[in-house]
Amino acid sequence: MDTSETNNTSGTGSTSGTGNGGGQLEEALQRLHASGPERDGWLSNHAPMVVEALAAHGRAGAVHHWLDLYRDRLEDFPARVAPITDDNWASALGDPRRVADWTDHFSRTLADHPWRSVLAEWWPRLLPGMYGGATHTVIRAGHAVRALLAGENTPRLTELAHALGYWAARHQPVAGVTALPGAPTAAETLDAVPAIEPGHLGFRDRLAAVHRLPAWAGDVTDPDTARARLAELVRAATHRYATHGHGEPTMLVHAATAPNAVLRTLDALPRDLWAPSLHAAWTASAAVTAMYGPVEPVAYLPPTRLTAEEVMEKALAHGDEHVIKLADTALDVGDEPALAAALRAVEISRPLV
């Protein structure tokens, strides 16, 4: 398997530690860039997201051990089909067979242009299709951007190429959704999201069954207001997991982690993209809520009060990729209800090993 092109995105030329990670993050990303973004035909490779989350929260020393536990879930990088160019990219958008071609395209583009300008050009093109790959596409991009904001080097730029390539290949818009009346707050409007009809299996089948969603923050155009509302959404969705996560412990994580990926990307984007980012993030979070929310909430009181560091340590010991990523988002939110949600995920999710 030839991965030479996808593994050589240029940047600073350095693979030494920059910002979060101390070098272990770079080593882990280099291990992972020989692997594809999916396994078993459609399931996402979570490893690049998890190792970045661990490094960002002071657990870089654990990334190689965690990767050793996860390595059986990695598959070789897929074969190339044909080069994607500035003239033919639109016809390849949303074609999962072209993921290697898309990664090559972004590798070349990032070699020739600053990564922020590449992100600004492609963000509005990709944003409508953030539901592809069960929202893991935008989540992986958010982790890649956070790493680059902490410090630029070649492995981190290569990871952005892989993340954007995955997003472009799995690009999947949601259309034909009727807007229902919303409520003043994100929490209240998430509570108003109607569940899809029972009987639908799999993410794509469930997503196709989302026909009605309440509107929220649709009139926001000011960038600073958009940022504040997006933070409100992330907080509300994270808190909600504690009482609703039992509906589907794995998939409901994305109601919080997908909008948080968008939130952590804002500082790398032009301000005029902040409001459209809020609107897309709301639709994604609401859609996941509709697809997997339980009929009734269950009251949850965490067994003990833990610090943020202790919560991340518990998530790491548990090992499940979604548990770690929800803990990552909970630590971003930073309040006690968010930490309780992360503990709830530890309780109801299956451990990695």
pLDDT, position 18:
58
Q: What is the mean pLDDT of residues 79-86?
A: 97
Residue 11 has what pLDDT? 35
Neighbours of 123 (CB within 10 A): 23
Nearest-angstrom CA–CA distance, 336 and 331: 10
As a residue count, the chain comes to: 353
Contact 204, 285 (CB under 8 A): no
Distances (CA, A) of 1 to 23, 76, 136, 325: 26, 8, 25, 30
pLDDT-derived band at 314 (thresholds 50, 70, 90) equals very high
pLDDT given for residue 4 in this prediction: 36
Q: Inform me whether the pLDDT recorded for 6 exceeds 60.
A: no
Extract the tokens encoding 12.
């600073």
For residue 234, how many C-alpha atoms fall within 13 Å in the half-sphere facing its CB? 26
* pLDDT band at residue 12 using 50, 70 and 90 as cut-offs: very low
Q: What sign for the dihedral angle of Cα 145, 150, 152, 154? A: negative
pLDDT at 41 over 90: no
Burial class (CB in 10 A: 0-12, 13-18, 19+), 105: buried
Q: How far is it, in rounded angstroms, from Cα 281 to Cα 131?
A: 10
Decide if 170 contacts 45 (C-beta within 8 A): no
Q: Other C-beta atoms within 10 Å of 232: how many?
A: 17
Of the candidates 279, 108, 90, the one whose C-alpha atom is nearest the C-alpha of residue 168 is: 90
The average pLDDT across 63-91 equals: 97
Alpha-carbon gap, residue 216 to 272, rounded angstroms: 19
Q: What is the pLDDT of residues 241-269, one digit of tens each?
A: 999 999 999 999 999 999 999 999 999 99
Distance CA 112, CA 106 (A): 10
Q: What is the mean pLDDT of residues 328-351?
A: 97
Q: How confident is the model at residue 19 (pLDDT cuts 50, 70, 90)?
A: low
Torsion 49-333-304-295 (CA) sign: negative
Helix 24-32 to helix 154-169 angle, to the nearest 10 degrees? 40
What average pLDDT does range 191-198 have in this prediction? 94
- CA 341/CA 236 separation, integer angstroms: 11
Q: What is the mean pLDDT of the chain?
A: 93
Q: 128, 126, 133: which is closest to 175 by C-alpha?
A: 128
Say if residues 166 and 140 touch (Cβ distance below 8 Å). yes
Q: Angle at Cα 146 formed by Cα 276 and Cα 107, nearest 5°?
A: 85
For residues 153-179, give the mean pLDDT: 96
Backbone angles phi, psi at 7, to 5 degrees: -100, 10
Tokens, residue 282: 């709301």
Q: 254, 309, 251, 317: which is closest to 66 by C-alpha? A: 317
Residue type, 117: S
